[in-house]
Amino acid sequence: MPEGRIVKAISGFYYVRMPDMDIRCRARGVFKKRKWSPLVGDIVTFERTENGEGWVTDIHPRKTELMRPPIANVEQAIVVGSLKQPELTLDLLDRFLVHAEREGLDILICLTKEDLVEDEKLIDQVRAIYDPTGYPIITTSIEKNTGIEELKRELAGKLSVFAGQSGVGKSSLLNAVLPHLALATGEVSRKLGRGRHTTRQVELLDLPGGGQVADTPGFSQLSFMEMEETELSACFPEMALRAPRCKFRGCLHRNEPGCAVLEACENGEIDKGRHQRYLQFLEEIHDNRRY
C-alpha cells in the first residue's frame, strides 16, 4: 500500500502528500478505539478508494510529538518573539523553549520587528540572556527585509515548526519565506497588547530549497502538567551544562549548598531573570503535583 506524509488535517480529513498529488483520507475506526489519532507530520500507510480518496491504515513510529501545536516528526523549532508590538514576553518565550527542548528539537530563536526597536540595547540585552543557552539567535524585520535569507538557510532541508504567541509575526515570516502563499496576518490589539489568531490549523508547507515548515496557531500560554520537577533543569541548557558539578545529586538549583547553577548566576554566567523564571516554572510543577 502507498505511503505519504500528512500535511494538513481539517474536519476529520487528512491530506496525505504523495510525490505528484495530495490524497484526502479518513482514518480507520481502529485509531479511535486505541485513542490514537493521526497528526500532521505523520508518515502513514493508506489504501486508495474508488472515488480517488483513501483510508489511513497505519501510522509509522514518530520521532517526535508535540501536542501544542499538534504535530509529529518535527526536527527544529523556530521560537518566535517580537521585540515590539507586542512587547517581548520572556516568560512565554521560555515556556516555548522548555517544551521544544523537552522534545529534543533543534532550537532557533527568531526575534521579529527589529525595525520598531528604537534602542539597539534591547537586542543586546536579549542576546546576553540567551547566548549562554547556545541557541542561535536571528533578528528579523519584514519591513527592512533583514534576517530573512539567514532564516531560509536555517530552514532548508528540515521539518520545522514556528512557535510563539499570537501577533509576534509567524505568518508574516512565512510570507517572507514563501511569498506566493499570502497567508493571513492580523494586527496586534492595542487594548490587549497581543495579536489575534490568524492561523486556524496546522499545515506543512514545502520549501523551495527542500524541507518543510509548519504554519501553526499561536498560543497565549503553555503549562507543565506532564513534567516532573527533576526534569525541568535539563530543559535549560546553561543549567544542564553545570548541573553535574552540583554538590548534591538531584539538585533543583533553588537554595542548595554547593549548587553550581546558583554559583553561575552569581558570577553572571547565567542570567538571573531566566533563573527566576525557572524557579517560577518549578513552583508551577510542584503545585500541579499537589492537585
**Residue ending a domain, choose from 151, 180, 215:** 215
Q: Are residues 121 and 34 in the same domain?
A: no
Q: Are residues 78 and 187 in the same domain?
A: yes
- Structural domain count, the chain: 3
**Predicted pLDDT of residue 176:** 92
Binding site for Zn(2+): residue ranges?
Answer: 246, 251, 253, 259
d(CA 279, CA 281): 5
CATH of the domain at 173: 3.40.50.300
pLDDT tens digits, 20-35: 899 999 998 878 777 7
Q: Are residues 47 and 78 in the same domain?
A: no
Binding site: residue ranges?
Answer: 112-115, 164-172, 246, 251, 253, 259
Higher pLDDT, 52 or 187: 52
In which domain, by residue range, is 283 found? 229-290
**Predicted pLDDT of residue 289:** 75
pLDDT tens digits, 230-258: 999 999 999 999 999 999 999 999 999 99
What's the mean per-residue pLDDT of the chain? 88
Q: Are residues 209 and 267 in the same domain?
A: no
Binding site for GTP: residue ranges?
Answer: 112-115, 164-172
Per-range mean pLDDT, top range of 27-41, 141-155, 187-201: 141-155
At residue 72, the 3 state secondary structure works out as: strand
pLDDT tens digits, 206-230: 998 889 998 776 554 577 878 899 9
d(CA 241, CA 262): 13
Share of the chain above pLDDT 70, in %: 90
Q: pTM for this one?
A: 0.85
Q: Are residues 110 and 211 in the same domain?
A: yes
What are the residue ranges of helices labelled H in 116-270? 121-130, 148-155, 170-177, 229-232, 237-240, 260-266
